[in-house]
Amino acid sequence: MIARSPFRIAMLATAAAALTLTSGCASLGRKGPRDTGYVARDAESLYAAAKERLDRGDVQTAAALFDEVERQHPYSVWARRAQLMGAFAYYLRKDYNKSIETAQRFISIHPGNKDAPYAYYLVALDYYEQISDVDRDQKITEQALTALQDVQRRFPGSQYAADAALKIDLVHDHLAGKEMQIGRFYQRTGQWLASEIRFQNVVDKYQTTSHAPEALYRLTESSLALGLPSEAKKYAAVLGVNYPGSKWYQRAYRLMEQYAPNATAS
């Protein structure tokens, strides 16, 4: 799983702080989660209480109070802010599904709002934080990629787009790693054609990732196993041109010398 970045938390917190309106209302008492009892209160003081809880690190109570703002005062300006702040609080709680639901509700109701980029970015991070290791299904990884690309496409000049671009590179590397894992499994079990398809995916879709050199080497291996020395030579040559100093090129060269000396890549 990809670790949560302190920089990312700081950026989200800074953006969330911008949603806060100055309030002179007194905050609620400090008794704990029972403060969230569903007693009718004005929107401003309820929002202030939720923000105070968030600032104190009590994200569970804060999230519940932000929900109350929206429930009790759905048409107020405070409800709009509470939606995003609630989504942020759920993110901090690692309740990513609830954070996604809340942020997407904001997007559906306020698609043109100035804070929409923040909501889209938060949805992307909710998926990104759930990326699992390559041994597991990568559906969440694909959802994270789609959401990050959506941020980049919709808000190309924003700070969120810049961060999304960095994460897209990491997601691509992760997905390439999954393809490599499956391809190696097929090789070990003698399913050379199936392995070639996986390694070709890496070369075609994730050529800028750290897995590309090994993928070309594995394609050289698979091609030789399938009795296609000319194809093996092609992959070894591409490897030599693009990664001449890598260990994978050295291995590919030795492999060609051993099993296809008449077609040895130069």
Is the pLDDT at 30 greater than 80, yes or no? no
Closest C-alpha among 30, 64, 38, 71 to residue 50: 64
195-228 tens-digit pLDDT: 999 999 999 999 999 999 999 999 999 999 999 9
User: Rounded CA gap, 10 and 154, in Å?
Assistant: 22
- Name which residue leads in pLDDT, 8 or 109: 109
Is the pLDDT at 266 greater than 50, yes or no? no
User: Rounded CA gap, 95 and 114, in Å?
Assistant: 25
**For 27-31, 124-128, 197-201, which range has the lowest pLDDT when averaged over its residues?**
27-31
Is the pLDDT at 27 greater than 80, yes or no? no
Predicted confidence band of residue 28 (pLDDT cuts 50, 70, 90): very low
Is the pLDDT at 142 greater than 80, yes or no? yes
Task: Give whichever of 2-11, 26-35, 255-264 has the largest mean pLDDT.
Answer: 255-264
Predicted confidence band of residue 188 (pLDDT cuts 50, 70, 90): very high
User: Rounded CA gap, 54 and 62, in Å?
Assistant: 5
43 and 78 in contact (C-beta within 8 Å)? yes
User: Rounded CA gap, 199 and 202, in Å?
Assistant: 5
Where are the alpha helices (H) located in the chain, listed in sequence order? Answer: 6-17, 43-55, 59-72, 77-92, 96-109, 116-128, 139-154, 159-188, 192-205, 212-225, 229-242, 247-259
User: Rounded CA gap, 78 and 87, in Å?
Assistant: 14
Is the pLDDT at 20 greater than 70, yes or no? no
User: Rounded CA gap, 65 and 41, in Å?
Assistant: 11
- At residue 58, the pLDDT reads 94
User: Rounded CA gap, 71 and 74, in Å?
Assistant: 6
pTM beyond 0.95, yes or no? no
87-118 tens-digit pLDDT: 999 999 999 999 999 999 999 999 999 999 99
Q: What is the mean pLDDT of residues 25-52?
A: 64
User: Rounded CA gap, 2 and 132, in Å?
Assistant: 7
**For 11-15, 219-223, 244-248, which range has the lowest pLDDT when averaged over its residues?**
11-15
Q: What is the 3-state secondary structure (H, E, C) of 77-92?
A: HHHHHHHHHHHHHHHH
Q: Tokens for 31?
A: 């008794």
